[in-house]
Amino acid sequence: MKQLLRVGLILLVLLLLLQPISFPITKATTSFVRTEANATDSPVIGQRIIPWRFAVYDEPNLRTPVRGTFAPQTVDIVQQQDDGWALIRTWRGNFWVYVRDNLRFLNQSVTLFEQIGGRPIGTMQSQLVRILNQDGNWAQISTWLGPRWINLQGTSVPDSQIPKQPPVIPPTTGQTGTHFMAWRFITYLEPDFRAMKQDFYDPQMVDILQQREDGWAEITTWRGNRWIYTNANRRFIEREVALHETARGPAVATLSPQVVRVLDQDGDWFLVSTWLGSRWVFLGQGVAPGTRQIAITFDDGPHPIHTARLLDALAARDVPATFYVLGSQVNAHPELAVRIVREGHEIANHSFSHPLLTRLSAAGIRTELARTRDAIFQATGVTSTTFRPPYGAQNATVRNVAAEFGYPIVLWSVDTRDWESRNVNAILSHFVDRNGNIRIRDRDIILMHDIHPATIDAAIRAVDLLLAAGFTFVTVQDLLGPQFGGTVHNRG
C-alpha cells in the first residue's frame, strides 16, 4: 500500500512535469528592451533606478563570470567609474554593474532581421547585447554573424517563417576515399547551403567521391549521393547550449542555435567565438553540463536556527531553493520568511499546522491553506503560488480546494527521507551512489526538511556536489514554467 502510494506520487509529479512546459515563445507586445533615455550616462553616486534586467560581476570586467542577474530595481551606487562600471551594494555584498554604453540584457528571445521591417532571419536567445543603432522601435545589435536588427516592441513571427541558419561543419582533411566525419553533419542535394537540407548524420565513416576546393564534398549514402560541407572552423549548433568560462567549468550564459566559429577543442568541449568573447560549449553526446535544471525544496520550516544556516549557505553559493513553509512557523519566525523571499528563493504553501488533509473536510482544508497564504503574504507581501500537501497526501477534496486557491499541487521526484534517517551520509546516498555516480537527473524535484541539523549539512554537501557536476538550481516555479508563475529558461 505504501509502495503503491509512493508510485502514485511519483506518477503524479511526472504528470505535473509533463504538463505543457513547452510553449510558444511569445514575441508579441512585450517591451523587453528599454531605451537609453534613463541610462546612467553620467557618473553618479547614490540611488538610481536601473530600468532593465542587469547582470552583476565580481570585477569591472565583462569577461569575468556573471554572478547573477537582477530584475529592474533601484540600486545603491557606491562607486562609479568613468568607463561605465558602477559598484553597487546588494544584500549579497557589493557587485559591479555596467551602466554605460548600449549594453542591454534581453530578457527573452528575439527575432533577428537583416533590415528594418525585412525578412526574419533567425532568433537569438536571451542574452547581453550591444546596441549599435536605434531607429524608432528598431535596434541594430551586434551579433556574432554581424549587425542584425531587432524590434524593441517585439514582433509576432511564427517560428516556421524563420529560416534555419545554414548548417556548416568544421574542417577536415577530407579527400577522396573513406574518411571519418568526427562530428554530426548534414547532407545536401546540391553543394549549396541554400539547397534542400536532407538529413543529419551522427559521426561516422563516409565515402568521399569528390572533394572540391570550396569545402564541399560529395559522399555516397544509402539514399544516394549527397553533398556535405567540410571546410572552415564553422559549426552549426543545433540546440541551445550553455556557455562556460572554461571547459568543464560552471555555465555562465546560454547560446541559442546558431553558426559559430570553433577556435579550439578539448574532447567534447569546444571553444567558440561569441559576442561576449570566446566561451566553451559542450557538444558531446548526452546532456550538456550546466543545462540540467533541478529544484531543491525544503518543507516544514522556517526554523529559526536550521533555516537561517541553510539560507547563509545558499546565499554563499548563489543557489535558489523552494521553501514549502507552514503558516504556524511563518507566524513564529516572519523574519525568516522575509529572508527567504528577499534572497531570491520561492516561498510556497505547506498548510498551517501540517495535518493529514485527507482527514479534513473541505472547510478544514480551506482554513489550513488560507491561514498559510495569509501568513506568507503578511510577512513578505508575496503570494505563494504552489502548494504541497503534508505527507503528499491528497484526495479529490484536497485537489478541489487547492484548485480554488489556484494552487498547482507540487510533490517531488526524489525523496531523501531525511526526516527518517537524520543522518548526513544516509541523506547523501540519495544524491550519489557508492561509486560516486550522481543519482539526480535533469528536472528532478528534491524533497528535504529544513528542520533537522543533518539535513542542512547534507544539503550543503549535495548542493556543492551537484554544482560541481554542472547542475543548475532553479525554483519550482521556474522549473515547471510560466503556468506556475515561473520564468522559462529554455526553449521547448
Residues designated catalytic: 299, 449
What's the closest the beta carbon of residue 13 comes to Ni ion, in angstroms?
Answer: 15
Give the footprint of Ni ion on residues 32-91 (CB under 5 A).
none
Pair 68, 62: CB distance under 8 Å: no
Question: Which residues are CB-contacts of 271 (< 8 A; sequence separation ≥ 6)?
Answer: 247, 262, 263, 264, 265, 278, 279, 280
Among the residues of 303-411, which ranges form H helices?
306-317, 327-332, 334-342, 362-380, 396-404
What's the closest the beta carbon of residue 310 comes to Ni ion, in angstroms?
Answer: 16
Instruction: Measure the CA dihedral 172/173/176/179, to 10°.
Output: -60
Strands 346-349 and 120-124: unpaired
What's the closest the beta carbon of residue 474 comes to Ni ion, in angstroms?
Answer: 21
The DSSP element (H or E) to which 453 belongs, if any, is helix 453-468
Nearer to Ni ion, 97 or 376 (CB): 376
- Integer Cα distance of 124 and 315 in angstroms: 31
What's the closest the beta carbon of residue 409 comes to Ni ion, in angstroms?
Answer: 13
The answer to the question of residue 390 lying near Ni ion (CB under 5 A) is yes
Binding residues for Ni ion, rule CB under 5 A, total 3
- Integer Cα distance of 462 and 420 in angstroms: 18
Contact region for Ni ion (CB under 5 A) — 149-157, 268-276, 294-302, 395-403?
294-302
Closest-approach residue to Ni ion (CB): 299
Nearer to Ni ion, 188 or 352 (CB): 352
- Integer Cα distance of 118 and 110 in angstroms: 14
What's the closest the beta carbon of residue 369 comes to Ni ion, in angstroms?
Answer: 14
Give the footprint of Ni ion on residues 95-154 (CB under 5 A).
none
Question: How many CA atoms lie within 13 Å of 358's alpha carbon, on the beta-carbon side?
Answer: 8
Contact region for Ni ion (CB under 5 A) — 55-63, 79-87, 169-177, 386-394?
386-394
What's the closest the beta carbon of residue 424 comes to Ni ion, in angstroms?
Answer: 20
Q: Which residue has the cell 555596467?
A: 98
What's the closest the beta carbon of residue 354 comes to Ni ion, in angstroms?
Answer: 6
What's the closest the beta carbon of residue 29 comes to Ni ion, in angstroms?
Answer: 41
Contact region for Ni ion (CB under 5 A) — 31-39, 171-179, 270-278, 383-391?
383-391
Identity of residue 138: W
The answer to the question of residue 300 lying near Ni ion (CB under 5 A) is yes
Contact region for Ni ion (CB under 5 A) — 79-87, 357-365, 366-374, 389-397?
389-397
Pair 111, 155: CB distance under 8 Å: yes
- How many CB atoms within 10 Å of residue 128? 18
Contact region for Ni ion (CB under 5 A) — 175-183, 234-242, 388-396, 471-479?
388-396
Q: Which residue has the cell 537609453?
A: 36
- Integer Cα distance of 463 and 225 in angstroms: 51
The answer to the question of residue 299 lying near Ni ion (CB under 5 A) is yes
Question: How many CA atoms lie within 13 Å of 54's alpha carbon, on the beta-carbon side?
Answer: 26
The answer to the question of residue 418 lying near Ni ion (CB under 5 A) is no
What's the closest the beta carbon of residue 446 comes to Ni ion, in angstroms?
Answer: 14
The answer to the question of residue 327 lying near Ni ion (CB under 5 A) is no
Question: Which residues are CB-contacts of 250 (< 8 A; sequence separation ≥ 6)?
Answer: 65, 244, 290, 467, 470
The answer to the question of residue 301 lying near Ni ion (CB under 5 A) is no
- Integer Cα distance of 97 and 75 in angstroms: 10
Give the footprint of Ni ion on residues 450-469 (CB under 5 A).
none
Question: Which residues are CB-contacts of 469 (< 8 A; sequence separation ≥ 6)?
Answer: 289, 438
Nearer to Ni ion, 300 or 346 (CB): 300
Contact region for Ni ion (CB under 5 A) — 46-54, 277-285, 295-303, 311-319?
295-303
Whether residue 302 is preceded by a cis peptide bond, meaning omega within 30 degrees of 0, is yes
Nearer to Ni ion, 415 or 478 (CB): 415
- Integer Cα distance of 451 and 99 in angstroms: 42
Please give the residue ranges that form the binding site for Ni ion (CB under 5 A). Answer: 299-300, 390
